[in-house]
Chain A
């Protein structure tokens, strides 16, 4: 059997099959439009409480003033993604997509939240560990609380710490006590260690037992 008559058609068929299928293009996701005009996108439903909205807006504004202009998208339902609802539940991929949609001239730090968890893009090497600790939010208000914590910690991790004054009042759950506890107890702990070390050093000097302390040996020469 001769293949000559069908060779061109065969080549055309193979070439057609090898072409990539048309892909849906983004843009028609509401967060990418809203975040061009403000720093935080809130879901259509369920609503985030006005108090938490104010706190998250404030955290993002403080981060921007500190030199870390992060954009935050809270995605509660597929309707928040408009024409690309297939991205719902894939918070990593969506954070990455969103970052590329809204970035202009330079990388745009971006945080996305979904019921499945938090995802970041262009937030530095410590970003993954920071959002991993937040877990999966159960409600829209949980998303906002987690986002407030994430914004504070991501800003600090990128060398732009923001003041948390005025942000603590509305927080609840396990996010509330983590940073304040460190702030309160760290100086006390350091003072205790300093006094303890000094007392121990003085006792050793008095007893003349320096054989186990290399620092003392160095200083004595």
Chain B
């Protein structure tokens, strides 16, 4: 009996110590603790005092991670399903989408849903010939949705000209995990509704804890 107690206590202590050790490594390397070369004027409080910091996750390199902003239909301003390219200047609302593959970011390009010729300014697209009910004007994953339009994630990818399905995300072929506002979306990701302030995360490969909230900028 004593041996069982002793074994349980030792095992518990070993596991607890291992966990503590992992936490210390994380503090030093991942949680944003600044290295010696990092400097600040003010406001740089130690990470440990403010809870866990996010972990840096770089964008992937190579063609599979650098998707073009438009397909053939948008290039010629043709209808994409029931969505038409309109020269509208009406109000838009925001949603946000993030894509991950193999543990890396797949950038969402600016200019999705905007027909050429595009007016570019640096990383931003300021306009074009016409635009669809879902579009992007910056490379941040911020979606601009035509107010009142009933849109789905499938509409975004159709306008984008990229494949999306239960086992396909852009150039990646693997089971796709979809999250809406931090909750797992069951079934086909194409059916997920795109509504005002929706926070969408799509992943293939390594699991990335999805964001549930996003601080949206003011509507331009």
Contact = CB atoms under 8 A, between A and B. Distances in A.
B107 A33 contact: yes
Contact of B211 (A20, A83, A87): A83
Q: Interface range on chain B: under 10, 10 to 19, 20 to 34, or 35 or more? A: 35 or more
Among A82, A117, A121, which residue has the most Cβ atoms of chain B within 10 A? A82
B8 A7 contact: yes
Interface string B188-220: 000000000001000000001101011111100
B82 interface: no
Contacts of A84: 54
Given A45-B218, A81-B215, A26 B57 contact: yes
Given A25-B54, A85-B215, A93-B53, A136 B37 contact: no
A33 B139 contact: yes
A15 to B, nearest CB: 5
B89 interface: no
Contact of A97 (B42, B53, B141): B53
B39 A127 contact: yes
Interface in A16-49: 17-30, 33-34, 36-38, 44-45
Contact of A37 (B11, B12, B105, B123): B123
Q: Interface range on chain A: under 10, 10 to 19, 20 to 34, or 35 or more? A: 35 or more
A49 B31 CA distance: 35
B35 A24 contact: no
Contacts of B51: 86
Nearest to A15: B15
B43 interface: yes
Interface in A84-99: 84-87, 89-99
Given A23-B52, A34-B123, A135-B41, A18 B98 contact: no
Interface of B: 1, 4-5, 7-8, 11-12, 15-16, 18-20, 22-23, 26, 30-35, 37-45, 47, 50-59, 61, 96, 98, 100, 105, 107, 122-123, 138-142, 199, 208-209, 211, 213-218
